[in-house]
Chains A and B, each alone.
Chain A
Amino acid sequence: MDAKTNNGATHSNSAPPNSTPAMEWPAGMLTRIPFWVYQSPELYAQEQHRVYEGPIWNYLCLECEVAKPGDYRTTFLGSMPVVVARDYDNEIYAFENRCAHRGALIALDGGGHARDFTCVYHAWNYDLKGNLKGVAFEDGVAGKGGMGKTFCRADHGPRKLRIAIFCGLLFGSLSDDVPPIEEYLGDEIARRIARVLHKPLVVIGRFTQMLPNNWKLYFENVKDTYHASLLHTFFTTFKINRLSQRGGLVIDESGGHHASFAMIDPTVTGGDYAQAGLRSENEDLTLTDKSLVAFEDEFHDGCSLQILTVFPGLVVQQIQNALAVRQVLPKGQHSTALNWTYIGFADDTPELRRARLRQGNLAGPAGYVSMEDGAVGGFVQRGIAAAANERAVVEMGGGGTTNEGTRATEASVRGFWKAYRANMGI
């Protein structure tokens, strides 16, 4: 049948070709995830308004990236381009990176140092707070032209964000209803961020990994403690992370934030994987340079790994001594930017810094235990191409979204959907 005949067919029987799938999802259901949530352009547009511009805190950048007055970074609140700047009053401001005149970007590059910003299009000028300060030829030229008499600069400007800073992480929100950041995070998540980011930070690398999948597939992946030692075999082989290793999972009350962690336990010998006949068990694999995984317990609590997420798009990573924050940004229904910022502390010893650089191999776009995450979301996105109304099964560990003593669970994935559905109103 050619396309013309197909398009010309009457729709007297079942659903017409190319019709929008019935977007059904029983209220409160968290153990089945319909695949249209990763595909729908309508949903994608709604996410900008209901999630990113809703009563949540969006991670924007690190405080140390705008350390001095005049420093600025460009970033995103979902799809919205944002400028973060430190003004000469030493306060940090964030505003939409959109000229009030015709809507062009105000700042074009990734960051730098400026006294003010001038839109390149018609030279409208903004201060570091995002206030419109100058309109080119506002009074016209030689008595002719110029803005109308009623035009008032103060009535025009890009949208301004509320700012919150927690442990050097800079968050922004467009909502007046969002709770204070500590309350948003909850005690346990806040405490677990603070145990890692406990002193002044320095950036030691910045990379962007483009993922061929919807942003939610990546964020679920980070929360998915079930997959970690099954997909990532490097970890299990070197006993950095086994489900049988002592550790746990923390989920906040909203469900949107989580932390999974593992404790040093060199005595563990894993039989679980061998018994299950899983691919992960490969005791023969040895590192020639074993110092790669020599962990210095710099936080003095025996925790060798902590992966923490803050809804809707922040990951704080401690994999041994490899520290990073990851910003998850939507770039279309089927594309996600994962911005990695590798960090250390300002007072790192040369030895500890070297350990971070070497252990940096564990994570990132080429990471021994993370490169698979760059691809697996794409495997799902491709796999579900014709399955909008089919559903993922998220039932490991039952149906709950609460803290459990095991990582053999999908509770934190369900927690994500609990928070997502609450924010989206679906």
Chain B
Amino acid sequence: MAAAITLDRIIAVQAAYVRCIDSGELESWPDFFTDDCLYKVTTAENHKLGFEAGIIYADTKNMLIDRIVSLRQANIYEKQTYRHILGLPTILANGGNEVECETPFFVARIMHDGQTDVFATGHYLDTCRHAGNDLKFARKIVVCDSSRIDTLMAIPL
């Protein structure tokens, strides 16, 4: 039987997730998700109004893999990195094999010329699921506080 999903384990997977993005190891990013995951970047307004569309919308892990392939090989954008700062997760529901939790984030975007801006703030609404010894995201809804995106969103949140 798998170990219980504790706050410690949730914090660990969240920390590993943002470390993966911020260090630029985007090829490993899809591995944080289950094969049948839902990953969506939306805004507080859209979330509140129940609008389904996302700035990014992927309902399979393969779509996440494709996004990274596209970013690496097809899309054009200036070199940039993110720095995610996470707040502490709140467990909303613990079903044993799955946990729903909410984790606030703050993301700075650092451009190649040094310009640094607050790119996004918001919270992750996650469903974490046991996958062997790991926790994976069966669902990650990225709810940005603001409805404005500056310039473009290349790297995922």
- Residues of chain A whose beta carbon lies under 8 Å from any beta carbon of chain B: 110, 203-212, 231, 233-234, 237, 282, 285, 287-289, 292, 337, 342, 353-354, 356-358, 360-361, 364-366, 368, 371-372, 374-375, 378
**Given that A282-B74, A366-B55, A375-B77 are contacting pairs, would A289 and B151 also be in contact in the complex, using a CB cutoff of 8 Å?**
no
Task: Say how far B119's CB is from chain A's closest CB, in angstroms.
Answer: 11
Candidates A203, A337, A353, A361; contact of B56 at CB < 8 Å: A361
Which chain B residue lies CB-closest to A358?
Answer: B57
User: Within residues 22 to 72 of chain B, which ones have a CB less than 8 A from any CB in chain A?
Assistant: 41-43, 45-46, 51-60, 62-63, 65-67, 69-70
Between A and B, 11 residue pairs with Cβ closer than 8 Å are A110-B45, A205-B52, A209-B149, A282-B73, A285-B74, A288-B63, A360-B54, A368-B74, A375-B77, A375-B151, A378-B151
A210 in complex: contacting residue of B45, B46, B69, B151, CB < 8 Å: B151
Cβ-defined contact, A361 with B73, below 8 A: no
- With a cutoff of 8 Å between Cβ atoms, the chain A residues found around residue B112 in the complex are none
4 closest cross-chain pairs (CB), A and B: A205-B53, A374-B152, A289-B62, A366-B153
Q: Are B76 and A372 in contact (CB under 8 A)?
A: yes
CB distance from A342 to the nearest CB of B (A): 4
Chain B residues with CB under 8 A of A342: 51, 53
User: Is B91 in contact with chain A by the CB < 8 A criterion?
Assistant: no
Cα–Cα, bound, A211→B45 (Å): 20
On chain B, the residues within 8 Å of A356 by CB distance are: 53
**Which of B42, B65, B150, B154 is within 8 Å of A205, CB to CB?**
B42
Bound Cα distance from A52 to B67, whole angstroms: 39
Q: Please report the C-alpha to C-alpha distance between residue A231 and residue B46 in the assembled complex, in whole angstroms.
A: 30
In chain A, what residue has the closest Cβ to B42? A205
Q: In angstroms, how far is the closest chain A Cβ from the Cβ of B6?
A: 33
Chain B residues near A211: list those with CB within 8 A.
151
For A207, list chain B residues within 8 Å (CB). Answer: 43, 46, 55, 147, 149
Q: What's the least CB distance linking B2 to chain A, in Å?
A: 28
Determine if B152 and A375 form an interchain contact, defined as CB atoms under 8 angstroms apart.
yes
- Select A288's contact among B56, B62, B74, B149, beta carbons within 8 Å: B62
1/0 per residue, CB under 8 A from A, across B125-136: the answer is 000000000000
| Residue from the list B45, B46, B58, B154 in contact with A371, Cβ < 8 A | B154
Q: Assuming A233-B75, A360-B54, A365-B153, what are 18 further A-B pairs, CB within 8 angstroms?
A: A205-B52, A206-B147, A207-B46, A208-B149, A209-B148, A210-B148, A210-B150, A211-B151, A233-B74, A282-B74, A285-B70, A288-B65, A357-B59, A358-B63, A365-B55, A366-B55, A368-B70, A371-B153
Q: How many A-B residue pairs have CB under 8 A?
A: 118
Query: Which chain A residue shows the least CB distance to B50?
Result: A204
List, in ascending order, chain A residues with CB within 8 A of B42's CB: 205
B53: contacting residue among A208, A209, A292, A360, CB under 8 A: A360
Does the CB pair B63–A208 fall under 8 Å?
no
What is the CB-to-nearest-CB distance from B26 to chain A, in angstroms, rounded to a whole number? 14
CA distance A84 to B73 in the complex (A): 44
Nearest chain A CB to B22 CB, angstrom units:
18
* A69 → B minimal CB distance (Å): 20
With A234-B75, A361-B57, A366-B56: A289-B153 Cβ-Cβ less than 8 Å: no
Q: Could you say which of B74, B78, B148, B150 contacts A234, with CB atoms under 8 Å apart?
A: B74
B154: A residues at CB distance < 8 A: 366, 371
Report B94-152 residues with CB < 8 Å from chain A CB. Answer: 147-152
Q: Judge whether A357 and B54 touch: CB under 8 Å.
A: yes
Residue of B nearest to A365 (CB): B149
Are B66 and A208 closer than 8 Å at their CB atoms?
no
Nearest CB in chain A: distance from B63 CB, A: 5
Pair B51/A212 contact, Cβ less than 8 Å: no
Identify the interface centre among A342, A354, A366, A375: most chain B CB within 10 Å of its CB: A366
Contacting pair B147 A208 (CB below 8 A):
yes
Cα-based distance from A233 to B75 in the complex (angstroms): 7
Please give the distance in Å from A217's CB to the nearest CB on chain B: 13
Let me know if A231 and B76 touch, CB within 8 A.
Answer: yes
Q: In the docked arrangement, what's the CA distance between A296 and B150, Å? A: 32
A61: shortest Cβ distance to chain B, in Å? 14
Known: A288-B65, A365-B153, A366-B41. A203 touches B51 (CB 8 A): yes
